[in-house]
Amino acid sequence: MNVKEEIYIDKMLKKFRLPDIKANYEEQIKLAIEKKLSYREFLINLLAIEEQGKKERLKEINIKAANFEGIKTLEEFNFSFQKSINIAKIKELETLSFLEKKENIILIGPPGVGKSHIATALGVKACEHGKKVLFTPAISLIEELDNSYQEKTLKQMFKKLSRIDLLIIDELGHLKLNKEKESIFFQLIRQRYEKSSLIITTNLPLGLWDEIFTSKLAATAILDRLVHHCHIISIPGDSYRVKGKIKEA
């Protein structure tokens, strides 16, 4: 390959933004010579490298945009401590088939049993598969939606959220909604119904959700859409965070 060809290739790599091909080009030429690869095989190897690099970059972008409070995986989760959890069910959810089916997940249990860990781990897995994810505490989400309503930008906010494949609402239960906020939240649930997935973590059993909303009727209307296509996972047990302290005491 002469100098003109090298300059041309360099320009094309910059033009089409193929950083991984550029970084591995010389190495792949040497490898192709050693293994006596055809030009077609050489190009296929380069494209495979670029595709893998693109996936890694997209994964990093998605994880950063998801706004997780910390990166968690299911491999890190202590299932031996929370023996009440159906491990087979969690592994099934890890395949992300619930996303393809536009299903929801509700994780119920007292503080510290691992609800947020499992929700985050599933969110991270979704990011790795190119899905757009947003993790948000319930209080922050409600306040943001209410502010959008006051500023008359709620329609734009809903449009933005509609692009999210998986919305994770953490700790729904530590708040009491008034009529306006309840109505806005209901609109959000209705908008995502059978279109995209939700994961909700809560310390309240479903029968007590009228403590969040203004009435049992309002809670039923919201739950009707949430649980229609939903995996409900109850995690009774002690807090993992304080287990060592209890033992100490």
Q: What are the backbone angles phi and psi of residue 199, rounded to the nearest 5°?
A: -120, 125
Q: What is the pLDDT of residue 65?
A: 95
Rounded to whole angstroms, the Cα distance separating 207 from 220 reads 9
Task: Please report how the helices 179-192 and 138-150 are oriented relative to each other, as an axis angle in degrees rounded to 10.
Answer: 100
Residue indicated by tokens 């897995």:
125
Q: What is the pLDDT of residue 249?
A: 47
Rounded to whole angstroms, the Cα distance separating 215 from 70 reads 34
- 46-64: pLDDT as tens digits: 888 888 888 888 889 999 9
First to last CA, the chain: 73
Q: What is the pLDDT of residue 116?
A: 95
**What are the beta bridge partners of residue 133?**
166
- Mark out the alpha helices in the chain (DSSP H runs): 3-15, 19-35, 39-66, 87-94, 97-100, 115-128, 138-150, 154-162, 179-192, 216-226, 243-248
Residue indicated by tokens 């095989």:
41
Average confidence (pLDDT) per 10 residues, the chain, 249 residues: 59 68 82 85 84 85 94 90 87 96 96 93 95 97 96 95 97 91 96 96 94 92 95 81 54
Yes or no: say if 140 and 234 are a contact pair by the CB < 8 Å rule. no
Sheet holding 166-170, edge to edge: 133-137, 166-170, 197-202, 104-108, 230-234
Q: What is the pLDDT of residue 162?
A: 95
Rounded to whole angstroms, the Cα distance separating 68 from 122 reads 11
Percent of the chain clearing pLDDT 90 (strictly above)? 63
| Of 12, 15, 37, 14, the residue nearest 27 (C-alpha) | 37
Host H or E run for residue 199: strand 197-202
| Of 9, 14, 4, 7, the residue nearest 28 (C-alpha) | 9
Instruction: Kindly write down the DSSP assignment for every residue of 93-124, as one continuous string.
Output: HHTTHHHHTT-EEEEE-STTSSHHHHHHHHHH
- Residue 241 sits at the vertex; the CA angle it makes with 70 and 72, to the nearest 5 degrees, is 25
What would the 3-class secondary structure string for 39-56 be?
Answer: HHHHHHHHHHHHHHHHHH
**What are the beta bridge partners of residue 233?**
107
DSSP-based three-state secondary structure for 132: coil
Report pTM: 0.82
Q: What is the pLDDT of residue 124?
A: 97
Q: What is the pLDDT of residue 5?
A: 56
